[in-house]
Structure 1
Amino acid sequence: MSNGSKWLFTDLKQELEREPLHIQGIFPEWLSGTLFRNGPAKFMESHLFDGLAMIHKFAIDHGCVTYSNRFLRTPAYDRAMTNGQTLSGFASPSSSGAKGYNANVSVTRIDHHFAALTESPDIVAFDPCSLGTIGVLPYEDDLPAHYTTAHPHYDFRRKSLFNFTVQFGRTCSYHVYGMPDGTRRRKLIGTVETTAPAYMHSFAMTENYIVLVEFPLIFNPLELMQGEKSIADSMHWMPERGTRFLVVGKNSGKLERVFESDSCFSFHLINAYEKQGDIFIDACAMKKISMGSINPGHLSESAYNPSNQPAMLRFRLSPGKTVAAVERLSEETMEFPGIHYRWSNAAEYRYAYGTSTNRNRPESIENQLVKVDTHFGTAKTWFQEGHYPGEPVFVATPHASSEDDGVILSVVLDGDGGSSYLLALDAVTFEELGRAVVPHHIPYGFHGLYTNELFNEEEGG
């Protein structure tokens, strides 16, 4: 790994407000909206998932871009800034059970609120104008939840958000729910009981099904409930269990089918859809995972491992069978995948975008962007040596006429310069349109949300 990548795991202290950014190249005139991005900005030693959450905001308006950033002011932030201590987190056990609400993974909209999410069931609302922290946004129900995902899916036909919670106990349960627009009341769809709950960072959704993919990274509920071990230390890699696909009907709420496959692990599923009775699930899958190794120190020092990179795999679940068929979609690797969500989510699709590792200049941290044609397996890449792109976000042109008619936005670290920039690519050609340069570095981040709205920069929250 190059020396410049150290900036990915270097704390960011500076907070800016409405900072005009210098533009190199162009941002299309039609592109008008806001990109929010979430990720750690003060790194705690234990785990990358425990770094203190910061929201970054890029406001794009008629070719101009302004930038703001602000820590989420949560109990975790207050405790860390006051005395350097951490509350209960992903890799930080707490015998008192005190929570930090450190929602540093993703951003979504719930009941007209902008909210930061992590895998804790609690979500933290923030003001989209000032980025001020509003606080924990309570649900209007009593659905049992010890754990969840930071990657809910939205069903445009049903106008509802879908997700699931995990309830730990003597017998554990996955509770699948829907949450209609305009409410914070989670409606239970169905429950699947298990004695060995799996860690699932995301899940799959098709038109008629929710599919929970149980990779063999298994929680020990007793260790969790005793509180002596952290969440990460309570997970155990058990490859002999293989991978299971739990197919839950959206209408029936029942576990309708179960499929098996070889052992693997995936943080992020790309997309899923139904076709002629089959269910197809695409995933960024690697051979194995060690949650304890995902800490800033290890990531910044680890060497590239060619045998355990996230491959684009397609799992086919066919009626009358119990074993999933598997094929590889591209020779390129992929992480932090994205699609034209409004056009393609839960439907057959052609294009996927993600971060990747350049095969000629491999590093242990993804160092290029990739666009894969899933129909033909071909790929286009964007690469600049010593630069490290984050999650690509697709933004469609007004009245888009094709699936890839739009731009790709990605926050990129310039490792040599020690600063970052917002990159805009033509989604069709994958060629650079422009970049908006931030006056400081932006650390390693996770996920973002783009909205076509521009928000008044009035202090609130």
Structure 2
Amino acid sequence: MQSSKDFNPSFGYSTSVDGNPQVEAQSPHLRSCLQECSEPVTAKVIGQIPSWVKGYLLRNGPGLRKVGLDEYCHLFDGLALIHQFTIDNGSVTYRNRFLRSQAYKRNMKANRIVVSDFGTRAYPDPCKSLLGRYMSYFSFKQFTDNDSVSIYPVGDELYASTESTFLHKIDPETIDTLGSTDLAQYVAVNTQTAHPHIEPNGVVYNLGSNFCGIGSYNVIKVDPNESKGFKSASLLTSIPVRNKMYPSYYHSFLVTEDFIVFIEQPLVTSIPSILLNHFIGGAYSKSLKWRPEFKTRFNVIDKSNGEVIASNYVSEPFAFFHTINAYQEDGHVICDICCYEDGSIVNALFTDKLAQISDQSDENKAESVKDFQSLRSQARRYVLPLNVDSSDESSVNLVTLKGSSAKAVRNGDEIEVIHESLTTTGSNMAEMPQINYRHYNGKKYQYFYSITRNEDYLAQLLKCDVITKETVLWSDQGCAPSEPVFIPRPGAVDEDDGVVLSAVLYEKIENEGFLLVLDGKSFKEMARAHFKTPSAITSDFHGLFCPVESPEKLIK
């Protein structure tokens, strides 16, 4: 068997398909794919991929960061590119296609950015009349439909998603865009998260905000067993916004077997700012404000009837994008989250600031990163004790969960929860977390997988044991791995019996990369499938694995 170390790409410059040197490569998150890889290219597999791994790994993320002379300004921006890895009997092919959203079509037609995105203000669309532009400022329908964040299943259908109400149906076999859906046609929301939760019976839960009137956070329920797509969408419950002019921003939430946990964080959306930005064509990110005086608040909602059973759990202010998992045990709700110290992470992800790190030499990069501590996140555990007696004194720790160092104390009508650290904010930071979702989402679990970076900013993959706090790392110098996706082995008994897949890009070669296959237990490399494309391969955010033989059993 050939060792993966036998392959040695020529670092230092980007190569074209014929091997001719090109200009210096850009960092993976700053690249643009200038030519789709619409026909599958066969990867060179080094090592061995288990024969039971068979299906499509689909990934979604920004693929075009420059349109004409205009450039996107934030990591979250860029026109959506769908990546497909087809795995069959140990072989792998790769291809990609741009999502045919209205944002993509309008920008391509104008040859510039005419649709604003998260952190990028658009220029006026030359195809619209002056009156048309003026009227569009007063409609939330102008929110981008550039679904560049994730892909999730609704029944046997797949949808690309972002945080607007627009979704695009994707064919997992051809990665063609099959049409669009506006969730706002079915439920009263102006936003939705890109990270819904899918129950074993196929029911989808999501959260969306309604900015109209007094404002509310709405829990959305979609039951594909009743009807296809989003026709069965309904509101399970609504939670009034506490600070009506400053509703909380959120990117994900948690579920257990019985509850939904919605976390209001002090990273908020300023309604006056969003209306002004919408009128003048400003970017959504300009409306996000860090208000630490607003406490972080945990809302616990009964899945069965939508009743908010508790909303008085509060903690020190923190910001977050991604949750890890939650579960119930001995009268407690355990919530694991990737947390940032404050909301400065949003501004730290503007591409000009990221480029400052990328442009540093390896010797100076560590020093440069010290100025970007806001990029570091920590996996934390918050424990919410249920059935608390109102007579409990403030000095009493209400957390009685065996083996947990998390705390909760009464403070008047509120219960202050104090976290237990699962990782440090240094070498074991954690982001883009994934678990054995099919079997352990909402249940007691032991392992999560994530992206991490060490103190020298080296990109790594991490496996964390949340019980022992032990971690195992994978890294390869000059390589940038994507979000890890765990696939359980058929018939497995142990939680970590399976493989972990990650799409890995070379930091100094734009049009080459490989699919990494790690053993879920040992976290050791089993195989890598190397491929080369006509144009740059871009980084992605989220995705899923879709088994070929049973597309209705989609693994989030």
TM-score w.r.t. length of structure 1 = 0.92
Contact 1:210 1:248 in 2 (8 A): yes
Q: In 2, distance between residues paired with 1:100 and 1:272?
A: 31
Deviation for aligned residue 1:307: 4.3
> What is the aligned counterpart of 1:176 among 206, 214, 219?
219
Matching residue of 2:542: 447
> What is the aligned counterpart of 2:502 among 410, 427, 432?
410
Matching residue of 2:394: none
**Which amino acid is the alignment partner of residue 85 of structure 1?**
I
> What is the aligned counterpart of 1:18 among 40, 44, 47?
40
Contact 1:45 1:295 in 2 (8 A): no
Deviation for aligned residue 1:93: 5.4
Contact 1:141 1:186 in 2 (8 A): no
> What is the aligned counterpart of 1:155 among 196, 199, 205?
199
- Name the stretch that deviates more: 88-97 or 272-281: 88-97
Q: In 1, distance between residues paired with 2:167 and 2:92?
A: 28
RMSD: 2.1
Q: In 1, distance between residues paired with 2:171 and 2:202?
A: 24
**Which amino acid is the alignment partner of residue 116 of structure 1?**
A
Structure 2 counterparts to residues 202-217 of structure 1, below 5 A: 202-217=252-267
Structure 2 counterparts to residues 111-130 of structure 1, below 5 A: 111-130=155-174
Structure 2 residue runs of 5 or longer lacking an equivalent are: 1-11, 13-23, 66-70, 123-133, 358-367, 389-409, 552-556
**Which amino acid is the alignment partner of residue 477 of structure 2?**
E
**Which amino acid is the alignment partner of residue 48 of structure 1?**
L
Q: In 2, distance between residues paired with 1:133 and 1:32?
A: 23
Deviations 1:161-218 (A, max 9, x none): 1001100034110110211134322121110011231110100111111111111111
> What is the aligned counterpart of 1:31 among 34, 37, 53?
53
Deviation for aligned residue 1:133: 1.2
Q: In 2, distance between residues paired with 1:455 and 1:133?
A: 21
**Which amino acid is the alignment partner of residue 225 of structure 1?**
L
Structure 2 counterparts to residues 410-429 of structure 1, below 5 A: 410-418=502-510, 419-429=512-522
Q: In 2, distance between residues paired with 1:356 and 1:385?
A: 14
Deviation for aligned residue 1:5: 6.2
Matching residue of 1:316: 383
Contact 2:155 2:202 in 1 (8 A): no
Q: In 2, distance between residues paired with 1:349 and 1:54?
A: 33
- 1:266 match: secondary structure: strand
> What is the aligned counterpart of 2:209 among 151, 166, 173?
166
Q: In 2, distance between residues paired with 1:34 and 1:166?
A: 32
Contact 2:63 2:81 in 1 (8 A): yes
- Over 3 Å counting, the alpha-carbon distance change for 1:437 and 1:197 in structure 2 is same
- 1:413 match: secondary structure: strand
Contact 1:205 1:273 in 2 (8 A): yes
1:378 and 2:470 aligned: yes
Contact 2:423 2:430 in 1 (8 A): no
1:81 and 2:177 aligned: no
- 2:419 match: secondary structure: strand
**Which amino acid is the alignment partner of residue 18 of structure 1?**
P
Q: In 2, distance between residues paired with 1:268 and 1:197?
A: 18
Q: In 2, distance between residues paired with 1:272 and 1:372?
A: 15
Deviation for aligned residue 1:68: 1.4
Matching residue of 1:200: 250
- 2:107 match: secondary structure: helix
**Which amino acid is the alignment partner of residue 261 of structure 2?**
V
Q: In 2, distance between residues paired with 1:327 and 1:115?
A: 35
- Over 3 Å counting, the alpha-carbon distance change for 1:139 and 1:79 in structure 2 is closer
1:268 and 2:315 aligned: no
- Over 3 Å counting, the alpha-carbon distance change for 1:91 and 1:7 in structure 2 is closer
Contact 2:334 2:384 in 1 (8 A): yes
1:102 and 2:127 aligned: no
Q: In 2, distance between residues paired with 1:132 and 1:455?
A: 19
- Over 3 Å counting, the alpha-carbon distance change for 1:377 and 1:4 in structure 2 is farther
Contact 1:89 1:230 in 2 (8 A): yes
**Which amino acid is the alignment partner of residue 137 of structure 1?**
T
**Which amino acid is the alignment partner of residue 222 of structure 2?**
M
- Name the stretch that deviates more: 264-273 or 90-99: 90-99
Contact 1:282 1:312 in 2 (8 A): yes
**Which amino acid is the alignment partner of residue 15 of structure 1?**
E
- 1:89 match: secondary structure: coil
1:338 and 2:434 aligned: yes
- 1:301 match: secondary structure: helix
Q: In 2, distance between residues paired with 1:275 and 1:38?
A: 35
> What is the aligned counterpart of 2:30 among 1, 9, 14?
9
Deviation for aligned residue 1:112: 2.6
Deviation for aligned residue 1:76: 1.1
- 1:284 match: secondary structure: strand
Matching residue of 2:347: 292
Matching residue of 1:459: none
1:282 and 2:332 aligned: no
Structure 2 counterparts to residues 341-380 of structure 1, below 5 A: 341-359=437-455, 362-363=456-457, 367-380=459-472
Structure 1 residue runs of 5 or longer lacking an equivalent are: 457-461
Q: In 1, distance between residues paired with 2:421 and 2:550?
A: 42
**Which amino acid is the alignment partner of residue 369 of structure 2?**
Y
Matching residue of 1:431: 524
The structure with the larger Rg is 2
Contact 1:191 1:254 in 2 (8 A): no
1:257 and 2:310 aligned: yes
Contact 1:220 1:235 in 2 (8 A): yes
Matching residue of 2:128: none
- Over 3 Å counting, the alpha-carbon distance change for 1:248 and 1:401 in structure 2 is same
Deviation for aligned residue 1:19: 1.3
Aligned residues: 450
Q: In 2, distance between residues paired with 1:132 and 1:421?
A: 23
Contact 1:5 1:386 in 2 (8 A): no
- 2:28 match: secondary structure: helix
Matching residue of 1:395: 487
Matching residue of 2:74: 47
> What is the aligned counterpart of 2:98 among 66, 71, 74?
71
**Which amino acid is the alignment partner of residue 245 of structure 1?**
F
